[in-house]
Amino acid sequence: MKVIVNDVEKSLNITDANGIDFTKDFIGNWGALSDGQFTWDEEAGAYIADEETFDWWSKAIDREISNMDRIAELKEIHGSDKVDEAVSEAANGYNDLEDIQNAISTALVELGN
């Protein structure tokens, strides 16, 4: 996803295991494409964001990729059902993306030990 930050073109990218880019869906599902964090600039063909917003989402994407990679590894060891259950239980009760990601990361560490 092309983003302009302080007149500099940057990008945010997250892809699934099949190589499909779902960056806009990921960010949009959290409301950030409609709540003012990102503004579409038709002329530039890119989203506009401030540095703080861009940095926050860049870190969120990094956390998500890390969790996705760890989930795939652990599914090879423990099977999908066990890993999916651990992820679901870890995320239960949280509403904030960062909290959910951190809870899942902790659960994956515990499952991996």
Average pLDDT for 83-103: 96
Helix (H) or strand (E) holding 40: strand 39-41
User: 1-35 burial, b if ≥16 CB within 10 A, otherwise e?
Assistant: bebbbeeeebebebeeeeeeeebeebbeeeebbee
Distance, CA of 27 to CA of 12 (rounded, Å) = 10
Residue 112 has pLDDT above 90, yes or no: no
Distance, CA of 10 to CA of 48 (rounded, Å) = 10
pLDDT digits (tens, 9 = 90+) for 18-29: 999 999 999 999
Which residues on neighbouring strands pair with residue 43, listed in sequence order?
none
Percent of the chain exceeding pLDDT 70 equals 100
**Domain span including residue 104:** 2-112
Q: At 29, is the secondary structure helix, strand, or coil?
A: helix
Q: At 92, is the secondary structure helix, strand, or coil?
A: coil
The number of domains in the chain is 1
Average pLDDT for 79-107: 96
| 97-112 vs 80-91: helix crossing angle, rounded to 10 | 140
pLDDT digits (tens, 9 = 90+) for 29-45: 999 999 999 999 999 99
pLDDT digits (tens, 9 = 90+) for 73-86: 999 999 999 999 99
pTM comes to 0.92
Q: Could you tell me if 44 and 4 are in contact, meaning their C-beta atoms sit under 8 angstroms apart?
A: yes
